[in-house]
Copies of this chain bind each other. A is one copy, B any other.
Amino acid sequence: MGQADHFRFGFRVRYSEVDYQGIVYFAHFLTYFDVAIHEFFRTLPYDYTDVRKRTGTDFNIVRAVVEYKKPLRFDEPFEVEVRLDRIGRTSLTFRPKLLVAGEAEPRAEGEAVWVHADQATNRSVPLPADLLELLDRKHGTASPR
């Protein structure tokens, strides 16, 4: 995917998310990444909560990483850029970045690996064909690599 393809979603830091140092508590970065990834799916449009009801499969997160570069303060507006880095047979790897307007470097960046799994057995299963098609139509990247 070219740079142009990267979806971004805007936020503003809530008072409830800030800690004693006046900066966002580190765990909330994962929540921001998650909200942005959900919004990425909406643009496809793909409703994985609906898929769960229909097929009994859903995504499980198996790995999350955050590299914290610079703190984020109360009330700051920011964006999370969602880069879908890898489409595996049963998994999606996202590399989100947390960006503030006018700054060259991200405040944070990370990784989120989602595995498509049968919710009864917890076994990974291939990504849904309709999701692959939607990703391909949108980004030209749906062929498993």
Contact = CB atoms under 8 A, between A and B. Distances in A.
Interface string A63-100: 11111101100110000000000000000000000000
Copies in the complex: 4
A61 B65 contact: no
Given A65-B65, A74-B49, A31 B16 contact: yes
A82 B26 CA distance: 18
B19 A19 contact: yes
Contacts of A14: 31, 34-35
Nearest to A49: B74
Interface string A1-38: 00000000000001110111110011110110011001
A15 B28 contact: no
A63 B58 contact: no
A20 B30 contact: no
A74 B16 contact: no
Most central of A18, A31, A74 by chain B CB within 10 Å: A31
Interface of A: 14-16, 18-22, 25-28, 30-31, 34-35, 38, 49, 58, 60-68, 70-71, 74-75, 119, 122
